[in-house]
Amino acid sequence: MPEIHIHREHHLGFTEARNVGLSWAEKAEKKFDMDCTYEEGDAQDTLYFSRAGVKGTLLVDARQLEMKAELGFLFGAFKARIEAEIGEQLDALLNAPHPAARKTAPAKKKAPAQDGAEHKTASRAPAKAAARKA
């Protein structure tokens, strides 16, 4: 059976790498009609994916992503194309802006009130990410 092996190192940390793994799983389910199961671990997550003619895993940790997949006979003829497309998808997800990487502008300081009263400012809570399908 033809096999695909894709390895990508990153500097995102485990939480953001997990988001990349979950994002890829969502895309694989929609675009390739894959059945995906995402198992979270303490130091490494494992995404299991399959469909007729393809089965594999995506290992996600704080420093790397590693995908291994076995292709059936019919998909074997397209191995290079499939491997290139998956590699491009992972590269795009790894290089996309991540919430933790965004920098916010420094808050403007207000001048103290002239009557000596202090102004209270409301702090904004960061927007919560939408729950992802596990």
State percent of the chain over pLDDT 90.
63
- Mean pLDDT, to the nearest integer, of 55-83? 94
Q: Do 55 and 47 meet the contact criterion of CB atoms below 8 Å apart? A: no
Q: Which residues pair with 5 in a beta bridge?
A: 68
Average pLDDT, integer, range 83-110: 69
Instruction: Give the separation between CA 75 and CA 52, rounded to whole angstroms.
Output: 10
Q: According to the model, what pLDDT value does residue 32 have?
A: 87
Residue 1, pLDDT score: 82
Segment 44-68 mean pLDDT: 96
Q: Is the pLDDT of residue 108 over 50?
A: no
Above 80 in pLDDT, residue 51? yes
**Cβ-contact 6, 25 below 8 angstroms:** no
Spell out the residues 6+ positions from residue 74 whose beta carbon is closer than 8 angstroms to its own: 53
Better-scored residue on pLDDT, 92 or 106: 92
